[in-house]
Structure formats: structure tokens, C-alpha cells
Amino acid sequence: MPARKTIIVESASEGEEDLVEFKQSSKKQKVEGSKQGTSGKKKKETSPKQAKTAGIARFVGSPIKKEEAARRWPERYDTKKGKKSEEDDNDKKRKLPAEEETEEVSGPSKCIAHYSKAEVDGTTYELGNCVHVHSGGEQDFIGRIIEMFEDDKKDTWFTSQWFYRVSDTAIKIVDDVKHDKKRVFYSEVKDFNALDCLVSKIKVIRLSPTIHFNTLNPKPVPPCDYYYDMGYDISYSRFYTLPPELESGTDSSDITNCNDMSIGPASSSHSENRSDNNEATSGNCKEYTLLDLYSGCGGMSTGLSMGAALSSVKLVARWALDLNPNACKSLEYNHPETRVRNESAEDFLALIKEWKNLCDKYVKSEDVDDSKARGRRKGVVVASDDESEEDSKSTEPGEFEVERIIGIRHASTEESKKAGIEMKVRWKGYGPSDDTWEPLDNLETCEDCVKKFVVEGKRKNILPLPGDVDVICGGPPCQGASGFNRFRNKENPLECERNKQIVVYMNIVDYLKPRFILMENVVDILRFANGILGRYALSRLVNMHYQAMLGMMVAGCYGLPQFRMRVFLWGAAPQERLPPYPMPSHDVVPKGGIPQEWERNMVAYDEKSKPTLLKPLTLGDALRDLPPVENSETRDEINYGGGARTDFQRFIRLPKDVLTGVSTVASCKKQKMMLHDHRPLNLNTDDYQRVCRIPRQKGANFRLLPGVIVKEDNTVALDETVERELLPSGKPLVPDYAISFVKGRSPKPFGRLWWDETVPTVVTRAEPHNQAILHPEQDRVLTIRENARLQGFPDYYKLFGPVKERYIQVGNAVAVPVGRVLGYSLGMAIKLLAPSESTMVLPPKFPQALMNSAQQISDLPLEPQENEEEEADE
């Protein structure tokens, strides 16, 4: 396939200074490396004439021999007589990045000598010294001298390799997270400065990143001015563990490596849990556990597990929780291996903390004697099933007898009179319908029952303990940041009740200390209130001493007919490989913009790369094989009625065992597949009659209905020269809200999609009042299954709940193909096969080429054979 246009990011049009458009262009993505000061912005190089004082700045001692200097700093010397080096020419006139005021900055001319020592204001500096450098602001810059030289104008210069304070990074300042002011971050950014900008010598030490991670008693930091334990890269705002040996750029450095602080893997009172629970129950296959927070119907964990399997890593979603009971039922049905909890994240966090206390209390003691696992609770009368004289005497009037404990939860004040731990009790002589939730305090006479439940629960891992979880994923809701919320709290976003889940999410991470974290969210967390919610999440991970980076990914770039840009924040323990972002495999039809400040966080190719991208998928590629259904369709399962027409359709029809790597296509050929959830929202009579009047043609919408005129400025109005047509109900054919939507400029109300198009994003509502969601050739909205396909859900994935609830589950989910590529990256990182860079290129023909049955999949016919059609009819 010939190379297609490169996916890049280009500046928005004039007047949209804070927005960058995601589009196809021949211009390169503005991520070129340049001298960086605070917040990734370049600071001016200062010439000797712009010095901070009139103090003395001179070199000390003899110059370094020319041969030695040319070997160590070859870019400063001409390689051929009479020809200037490109580096030297660039140094003379350097420009600020486009986002700052463009102005030429004078730099050094031709270098004539290098030195190893200098004196500034009475202080002697040597190569390798860590220093404060004059910034012109409140805080001096922090750097390390890696070069000192004189040019042919007798001006004196030094080159510094820079360190970043937290406030210099993408985190900036987040008042809700307190960072150690001595902690800085190593960077690869280096540039030249006037010698007299040196302010003072400082002591910077390097610490192992594990000394503060997941340890109960961290060692104190040795005396120093600053310390660093991680590196920072402006691209993708990446905080990463440094390699054991760093290129110093000099023969000596006064950075201290504190060997006594460079301990091995982090120690924890729960570290034994991870090694015990990671082994699979069968064979020697390693099993990695996943906790899915705010799971919805399971789009993210489904994709992650599928992708990890393609890297030969077994990732199992052991636990999940969500507030929506229907979403929990959907996840539980499709993932029977997962313990799904229908509760709030706050209650879950309180529960697992108390669960640890119960495990500490009971699990270490002797095994439970089943014969003694009985108890009684005061307050209710119940007869004993044991007629022995002893038991009849011990059961007093007003008591029930506990048969066993079958569940545990943390009850909030909304569910119970008193917040706290409650246990679900099966009463002796009663059935499941009589089970009740009882406060733990009321079961003090039933300690043996409680103990047995805790011991058995710990053995079965019904709840995670610190050290049990390898991966936490989830998308905490942040409705308070949504652009659709007109009442957003811009002054204190983290105090808004609708934004606090991002805080709870990070609190759970802090308590369980997983090896990897993946948080997903809408791009508004980077737009709203100067991106405070995104910065907070990044800040929390870094403050917990996790590696971290933040990227924006477009679902359409991974083989879906929708754009759908989302933020994905990776976190990894210091001793792990930070999973890279997979680069796009498909071209995409752009339908949105990104915040300009986060331009470097877009997962996209620049002009220098010329990837061979697959063409964008369209609605026809994804949906055209599905059987026709009516607006009134109520069946949850129907036959396909025909075969797949495209590779996408063929792949998404595969059975679960094939897509998860358990079985091959050959072993599943006889398996009859049914189509789930292929039913639309049943429109009311008025809306259905309006939909039937929308022409079945590309671009059709309410504007083509009688009585609507389109003005020269492309706004609409009612044609006052004709009588307004009414429906049989007496309501107008063209509703007022369609005319007034976006001040008459929007063509979306009752808009009909077309086969060669894509959609901006799959939403949670199916009403056609303010969005184009009508089927191209049928008088109805897209079905639940059609929306699910646009999200990449395999056809076997069955949803539960009322129709509107199922639309919500699909619209809120992470697109499965995006989860799949991230899961593949995660698996490769676990195996230490992923690159150490921020991004990676997916294998050709991903994911089909990596599946055990890839060849068999490609051999499947696109259209059904005659005998298959006969079997379907039977």
C-alpha cells in the first residue's frame, strides 16, 4: 500500500490561539527540541553584555588541548578547513518557538578554546559542577556544567544540562498535592549560556527511585540542596526511571550517587501477596491481575486483556466496580471470572482498608473449625434446626441463629443508619430471600462465622489487598469539567463534588500500590481551568513516585469509523518499564481540536516519519453486513441473515474464545453465533413520523423538510410564505428546537448518516433531536449493536438493562481497539520487550497477525456459503 498522508498536529486558525486542530497536513508537528526553561518553554540565551552583574567572569588555567577538545565537543569545531559547522551556524542565530514572541537571540561565534575551570564573582567552577543559573525570575535555574568555552570574540560561555523543578514541568503548581521542594528531575535538555550567569555551586544527589515507593519506612534523604530520582521529557510529559549510568558529557561530575540509598525492589509488608497471587492456577503460566474502577460495561478491561494476550501475557480482570447496576450485570455476564461490585469508589476504598484489618486479625491464626462456625445475633426470634437439649437452652428468645456469612460491604449513610462495615448473613432455617445486611458490630457473638468468612475470602481473593493488584485501570467521571456543564466550578475544580472521583481514584492507587496504572478521561480535563484536573492526576502519580506520562489518542487511528479523542495517563512503578503509546495504524478523518499547550502530548506522527497507514474505516465498513430492523424491534437476539463483507466485520464477528486466544477459528466454526442488542431506541410517534420524512440520501436532515428555508449565511428559518405543516398529533413537523439549535446553524437535528462517513464520537443518547444518528437506509436511529460496533465491541458482547441504559453503557465505554493496543503495549512492557521511548510502532496487520488463528481468520469467506444460510434458516 502506498504511504498516506502523515497524521500530524497543526496550529489552529487565527483567533483560536489556545486550540490546535488535528488534521492531515504536510507541516510538521511542532515538537522540535529546543532550549527549555519553565513549563517546557525556551528561555533566552544571555550574552555577556546581558549579564546579571558587572562581576568578574573568566576562565582559569590553561585551555584544554585542541585535540582533546575536538574529541569531546566536535560540534564546536569545523570538520573541514574554511567550512563552518551547521551547529555553529545555528548557535549564532537561534529563535524562540512559535508559541512565544519570535526574536533572534545572539549566541556564541566560532569557538577557539575549551576550559575545565572558571571563576565567577570569586567562586571557582569546574566541569561537572551542579550550579544555580541566573534566570531573571524569582527562582534560579538548576543545571550542571558540561562545557566551558571561549569564542573568537573573546566572549565566555558554558553549556548546561538542566534539571526541572516540579513547577517547571507539565504539573506546574497544584496546591492540592505537596511535593518535596528539594526534588528535581533530570533532563536531556542542554544549551549554552553566558559564563557570568552562574550564581553559585550546589549539591545535587541521585537517589534510587524505589526508596520512597511502597515502603513503610523510607530512609531519610542525605544532606543536599536537591536530589533527583527520575528523568523528565517534555514530550508526553513523561517522568521516567533513569538508566543506571547516565551520559555526563564530562569526564567528571559532582553529582553524588547515593549507593546506600539505591536499594532493590521496594519493600512492603504486603509484597508477599503479589508473588503468591500471580501464579496461574494451572501450569506455569504467569497471571497478572487487573482492577477495573468505574468499569461501566467493561470496555477498557476487555481491550486491555485482549491486547495483553497478543503479547503472550495473561491479564485477568479479577475485580471491577461501578455504580450502575445494569453496567455491572453486563460486565459480570461477559467476564464471569471477574468479581463485580455495584458500589461507589469511596465505599470500596473504605471496605478494602477494613478488609485488610480483618485479614490481619483472622488469617494469621489457626484454621477455622467448621463445627464452631456458628453465631447468634440479638433482637430477632428464630428456632434452631438442632433439637439437642444443649442448643435449645442456649438459644434465647429474641435471637436468630447465623448459619454463615456470605458477603461484605461498606455501607454509606445513605444505605444504612450508620456508616461502616456490614456483612450479609444467611440465617439458619431461612433461604436467600431472607438474607440481611448486618453491621459488623452486631455480630460480635458470631466471631467464628466472621473468621471463617474472612479466611475463605482471603483464600479466594474476593477483595484486593495492597500488593495483590498488578494493574489498575479506569476512567473516573469528571462531569464538573465537561464543556456541557454550564455551572462548572472554575475557581476550585477539585472541590466540586462532580470532580472528586479523580481524587478517590488516586487514593485507591495510593493504597493498593499496583505495578501499573492506566487512567482514561475526556480531553476537557486538559482544557478546563488551565488543565487542573489533568495536572492533578499527573501530580499525584509523580508524588507517589510512579513513572508517568500523559497522551491523547484518537480511536479512529486504530481502526474505528469514529474520531473520539481521549486522554490516557500511564503510571508504572519505578522498577517497571513504562508502557509506550502505540502509534496510529490507520489514517483518520479529523473531527476535533486539542489544547495548544498539550500539543506535544498528541499520539501522532510528524512530517519526518512517513508511515504506511491503512485507510480510514467508514460506517459501511463496520455496519453494512447487519440485517435490517424496524424502529419497533424488541428482540434482544436475532440471526445475522448474511455473511461478513469486510475484514472488520469478519473480525468483530469472531467468538469470544478466538478473540481472547483460548481457541482457534477451526474449533469454533460449528459454533452458531447470534447477534445481540441489534435493536434501536423506539422513537415516539411524532419523532418516527419526522424520521420517515427525511430523504434516504447523503447529508439529509431536517433542513430538507417542507417549510424550512436556508439563508445565505447558512442559518435556517421557517418559511413564512407557506402554512406550517403539522403532524397528526397537532405538533409541527419541523420542531422549534431544530430551528433554534446552535442559533440555526447546525445541520445535526434529524441528520442521516451515510456509508462513506465517520462519526465524531459515539454518544450516550440515541434521540435524533440534536445529533446525526439516523441509519443511512432505514427509518430509525442506529441500534445498540451498531453503536457497539463503532466502539469496537465484539458481537458476542451482550448488554443488559433498559434500551436507554445500554446506549449509555456503550457511549461511556473506552473503545475496545484502543484498549487492545494499550494492552499489547502493557504486555510488552511487562516482558521488558517494549522500547524505552514514549511511543512504539504496532506490528503490521495488528491485531490479526498476532493471533494464533490469524491465517484461519483470513481464510474465512466474506459471504456465507449456501449450506450456512440453510443452517441459519433452520
Give the pLDDT confidence of 213-247 residue by residue, as tens digits.
877 777 889 999 999 999 999 999 999 999 988 76
Using one digit for the tens of pLDDT, what is the confidence trace for 288-340?
Answer: 999 999 999 999 999 999 999 999 999 999 999 999 999 999 999 999 999 99
Over 70: is that where the pLDDT of 434 sits? yes
CA distance 390 to 354: 35
341 to 6, 290, 320, 347: CA distances (angstroms) = 44, 14, 6, 11
620-803 topology per CATH: DNA Methylase; Chain A, domain 2 (3.90.120)
Grade residue 47 by pLDDT with cuts at 50, 70 and 90.
Answer: very low
Q: pLDDT exceeding 90 applies to what percent of the chain?
A: 66
Average pLDDT of the residues in 12-17? 39
Average pLDDT over all residues of the chain: 83
CB within 8 Å of 117: residues ≥ 6 apart: 59, 60, 61, 124, 125, 126, 127, 148
Please compute the mean of the pLDDT values over residues 402-424 and round it to a whole number. 86
pLDDT in tens, 521-580: 999 999 988 899 999 999 999 999 999 999 999 999 999 999 999 999 999 999 999 999
Segment among 94-98, 533-537, 556-560, 798-802 with least mean pLDDT: 94-98
Q: What is the pLDDT of residues 100-130, one digit of tens each?
A: 343 444 678 899 999 999 999 999 999 999 9
What is the structure's pLDDT at 11? 36
For residue 415, the model assigns a pLDDT of: 64
**Average pLDDT estimate for 135-159:** 95
pLDDT at 861 over 80: no
Reported for 384-387, long-range contacts at CB under 8 A and 24+ positions apart, including other chains, are: 384/428, 384/429, 385/428, 385/429
Cα dihedral 442/444/447/449 (nearest 10): -20
Max mean pLDDT range (8-12, 151-155, 574-578, 843-847): 574-578
- Determine which helix (DSSP H) or strand (DSSP E) holds 411, and give its type and residue range: strand 399-411
Q: Does residue 678 surpass a pLDDT of 50? A: yes
User: What pLDDT does residue 382 have?
Assistant: 34
Q: Distance between CA 462 and CA 407 in Å, rounded?
A: 10
Q: What is the pLDDT of residue 55?
A: 64
Query: Which tens digit of pLDDT belongs to each residue from 629-674?
Result: 999 999 999 999 999 999 999 999 999 998 887 777 666 666 778 9
Burial classification of residue 821, based on how many CB atoms lie within 10 Å of its CB (0-12 exposed, 13-18 middle, 19 or more buried): buried
pLDDT of residue 71 exceeding 80:
yes
Residue 873 has pLDDT above 60, yes or no: no
* Residue bearing the bigger pLDDT, 332 or 96: 332
Per-residue pLDDT tens over the stretch 810-831: 999 999 999 999 999 999 999 9
> Is 60 exceeded by the pLDDT of residue 588?
yes
Alpha-carbon distance of 552 to 520, in angstroms, equals: 10
pLDDT over 70 (residue 860)? no
* Model confidence band, residue 865 (pLDDT cutoffs 50, 70, 90): very low
DSSP 409: E
pLDDT at 60 over 60: yes
Query: Is the model more confident about 530 or about 783?
Result: 783
Sign of CA dihedral 520, 523, 529, 535: positive
- 36-201: CATH number: 2.30.30.490
Confidence of residue 488 (pLDDT cuts 50, 70, 90): low
Q: Give the per-residue pLDDT at 862.
A: 55
CA distance 682 to 690: 13
d(CA 815, CA 652): 13
pLDDT value at residue 371? 42
Does residue 97 or residue 684 have the better pLDDT? Answer: 684
**Domain 273-460 belongs in CATH node 3.40.50.150:** yes
pLDDT at 167 over 80: yes
Contacts of 468 (CB under 8 A, 6+ apart): 270, 273, 274, 277, 289, 461, 512
Q: Each residue of 348-391: pLDDT tens digit?
A: 999 999 999 999 999 975 444 444 444 444 443 332 344 444 44
Q: What are phi and psi of 503, to 5 degrees?
A: -70, -45
Domain locations along the chain: 36-201, 273-460, 620-803
User: Percent of the chain scored above 70 by pLDDT?
Assistant: 76
Asked if the model's pLDDT at residue 27 lies above 80, the reply is no
Tell me if residue 557 is catalytic.
Answer: no
Residues 501-522, mean pLDDT to the nearest whole number: 97
Residue 50 has pLDDT above 60, yes or no: no
Calculate the alpha carbon distances from 49 to 111, 118, 133, 226 in Å: 18, 18, 16, 30
- Catalytic pick among 197, 297, 449, 478: 478
Whether the ω angle into residue 847 lies within 30 degrees of 0, i.e. cis, is: yes
Per this entry, what is the length of the chain?
874
**pLDDT interval class at 467 (50, 70, 90):** very high
Does the pLDDT value for residue 4 go beyond 50?
Answer: no
